[in-house]
Amino acid sequence: MHRVREPDEAGSSAIERADPRGVENMSDASPPHSLVSFDTAAGRVRALLDNIERAVRGKPEVVLQTVSCLVARGHLLIEDVPGVGKTTLARATARSIEADFNRIQFTSDLLPSDLVGLSVPDRSDDTHAPGFRFQPGPLFAHVVLADEINRAHPKCQSALLEAMSEQTVSVDGTTHALPAPWFVVATQNPLEHYGTHPLPESQLDRFMMRIEVGYPDRAHEADILREDPAANALTDLEPVIDLDELRAIQELAAQVKFTDDLVAYLLTLVEETRQHEALELGVSPRGAIALRRAAQSRALIDGRDYCIPEDVREFALPVLGHRVATRLSSGARSADGDPSWVIREIVDRVPVPL
């Protein structure tokens, strides 16, 4: 059972390129690309944003969050209703960086081996008894869309999330490196609960950001009706950044300065989530690191080699919102248990360093 679609027929798939004796070479290791400055890197990322927005209309904030997550080497969870452009966003991102793309439709009968791959008989040498070779699964692509992840069995979810954590998969005692860069965009429908397995907080914590796409405004939806960019503009997208450039930009983002004042500010935000009366679960150290990395990527996109408090504030909700849980006995709880209001309250209340 192979539940993979490869819409980008123009490019070779990760599965086709895999070494049948192992996939260690799929990390795409190559000499680092030379970027002149943060301004140059910012210009390349701006070109990436503009290119994606040709296919994803009227959602500049969503595109910015997606690219920031990619630059920060994170993974993205999109929680929204069907038909708002989640798949188009993932495909447009892959096309814009000249990356392999695989889409996996998660279902209740999906097995971990359907994701990571398996050992198959190797009959290339007819003179000897057949051995085995590793056949990579659909996770071996630079951009992977995990569609409706909450419909899969928890074992299958764990296989994906383990790969997200380790950047490797292990099959039959052999570890195989995933491609670099490797970007997972997972989706789930918040309105459907029958036959689903919601991700627990410990697994949600593996995603750098959780965002919503939302409906477009009237003017942009009119443009979508006239031009159908998902069917037309998407197929015409050309890469504006190659993988070497993207890896160099990711390295540069990790070098953005994050001062001690900002460290103290970020830690205060995190500590407030652990002490807030409405929250049962606060932000983990992994969440704090994720917010720092997201802020660094935001600074790079603006062409800065240093972070400012606004970088932290802008991404506090998408980075921290899914890492906390409301206390069931809390009287100040929203009707659906969404803790986003707590994050907003904390961000508004904690003094910003000058």
* 22 found inside a domain: yes
- pLDDT for residue 330 is more than 60: no
* 53 found inside a domain: yes
Q: What six digits make up the tokens of 314?
A: 């802008």
- pLDDT for residue 257 is more than 90: yes
- pLDDT for residue 338 is more than 60: yes
- pLDDT for residue 350 is more than 70: yes
Least Cα distance to 33 among 242, 241, 243, 244 occurs for: 244
Q: Are residues 277 and 194 in the same domain?
A: no
Q: Are residues 100 and 212 in the same domain?
A: yes
Contacts with 72 (C-beta within 8 Å, 6 or more apart), sequence order: 208, 250, 253, 290, 293, 294, 296, 297
For residue 105, the tally of other CB atoms under 10 A from its CB is 14
Q: Which residue has the higher pLDDT, 62 or 131?
A: 62
Are 166 and 124 within 8 A, CB to CB? no
Q: Are residues 47 and 183 in the same domain?
A: yes
Q: Are residues 187 and 329 in the same domain?
A: no
- pLDDT for residue 96 is more than 60: yes
Write down how long the chain is.
354
Pairing between β-strand 279-281 and β-strand 325-326 as defined by DSSP bridges: antiparallel
pLDDT digits (tens, 9 = 90+) for 274-317: 999 999 989 999 999 999 999 999 999 999 999 999 999 999 99
The pLDDT assigned to 130 comes to 65
Given 209, 235, 252, the domain boundary residue is 252
* 13 found inside a domain: yes
pLDDT digits (tens, 9 = 90+) for 59-88: 999 999 999 999 999 999 999 888 899 999
Torsion of CA 166, 170, 174, 177, to 10 degrees: -40
* 354 found inside a domain: no
Q: Are residues 323 and 232 in the same domain?
A: no
Given 200, 231, 252, the domain boundary residue is 252
Bridge partner residues of 279 (DSSP): 326
Q: Are residues 284 and 230 in the same domain?
A: no
- The CATH number covering residue 198 comes to 3.40.50.300
* 352 found inside a domain: no
The pLDDT assigned to 214 comes to 92
Q: Are residues 145 and 203 in the same domain?
A: yes
Q: What domain range is 243 assigned to?
A: 4-252
> How much is the pTM?
0.85
Residue 326 φ then ψ, to 5°: -75, 150
Pairing between β-strand 168-171 and β-strand 174-177 as defined by DSSP bridges: antiparallel
Q: How many domains does the chain have?
A: 2
Angle between helices 60-71 and 86-96 (to 10 degrees): 50
Q: How far apart are CA 42 and CA 234, in angstroms?
A: 23
